[in-house]
Amino acid sequence: MGEFVRVATLADIKPGQGIVAEANGKTLAVFNVDGAIHAINNTCCHRDGPLGEGELEGNIVTCPWHGWRYNVTTGACVNNPSAKVETYQVKVEGEDVKVLFEQ
Inform me whether the pLDDT recorded for 103 exceeds 80. Answer: no
% of the chain at pLDDT higher than 90: 96
42: domain CATH number? 2.102.10.10
CA distance 32 to 42: 15
E runs forming strands in 1-103: 2-9, 18-23, 26-33, 36-41, 55-57, 60-62, 69-71, 87-88, 90-93, 96-102
pLDDT in tens, 4-53: 999 999 999 999 999 999 999 999 999 999 999 999 999 999 999 999 99
pLDDT in the model for residue 1:
78
State pTM to two decimals: 0.94
Confidence of residue 91 (pLDDT cuts 50, 70, 90): very high
Question: What is the domain range of residue 72?
Answer: 2-102
Structural domains of the chain, count = 1
Question: Mean pLDDT throughout 59-64?
Answer: 98
Mean pLDDT, rounded, of the chain: 97
CA torsion angle 102 82 62 9 (round to 10): -10
Phi, psi (deg, nearest 5) at residue 39: -130, 135
pLDDT in the model for residue 74:
98
